[in-house]
Amino acid sequence: MAVQALSSVERGYDLLAPKFDGTPFRTPDRVLDATAESLRPYGPFGRGLDVCCGTGAGMGVLGPLCEGRVTGVDFSAGMLAQARQAHPEAEWVRADVRALPFDGAFDLAVTFGALGHLLPGERPALFAGVHRSLRPGGLFAFPVGAPPPIASRLYWALLGFDAVMRVRNAVWRPPFVMYYRTCPLHALRSDLAAAGFTVTTVPLAALGTREDGSPRGRLVLARRPESQD
C-alpha cells in the first residue's frame, strides 16, 4: 500500500490489482446490489458499459440488466487483467476515461467509486465522453453516499484523508489523485447537466435511512435525451 501511495494512479492500481478485491477500496456488494435493484425498473437494457471498471465488480450489476454485450473500460492494465480473468465473457478496453473511445454504442453506463480519482476540472471531459458513448435515450447511473454529519468520526476521517493526499501531491511526483470530498451531489448534477444530461436521483432503498429519515445513498440517473433539439 505504501508503494502504491507513492506511485501514479495507474501504476498504483497495477500494483494493487491482484489484491484489490480484498481491500476496503472495492465497492461493497451491498452497494452494487442496491444499485442493481434500483436500476431494474428502468430496464432491460441493450449493451452496457462500466466506466473505470477496475477488477470488474460492476459486471454483477450490468450482466443481469443488459441483454447485449457488456464492456469495461479502465486505464490500469493490471486491473483489466484481473477483470478479464474473472469475467472472460465481457469485453475489456484499456483507455483513459477522460477520452472515451466510444460513439453511441451503449444503452446503460455505470461507474462505482471512481469519481474521486478525477479532479473537479476533469469531470466535464468524463461526462461528455459518457454522453457521447450512449445512444440517444441511454442512461448513465452511479451511486452516491449521503454526506456524513459533521459530528461523526467518518466526516473527520475523510477530511483528514483528503488533507493528507493534498500534502502528498504537493510534495511528491507523480501525483496520486484520490479524494473523498470533491464530488458533492450538487456539483455532479451541475456537471452532468452541462454535458447534456437530464439528471434525477432516486433513493437506494436497500441501504436504509439515517436517523433523520434521509436515505443513506442515492442513485444518480443521468439520461441522454432522445433528441438534442
Per-residue confidence (pLDDT) for residue 140, from 0 to 100 = 98
- The tens digit of pLDDT for each residue in 96-141 reads 999 999 999 999 999 998 888 888 899 999 999 999 999 999 999 9
Give the CA angle between residues 98, 167, 76 to the nearest 5°: 30
- The tens digit of pLDDT for each residue in 47-74 reads 999 999 999 999 999 999 999 999 999 9
Better-predicted residue by pLDDT, 7 or 225: 225
Q: How confident is the model at residue 149 (pLDDT cuts 50, 70, 90)?
A: confident
Q: Alpha helices of the chain — where are they, by DSSP H?
A: 2-5, 9-16, 29-39, 59-65, 77-86, 123-133, 153-171, 185-194
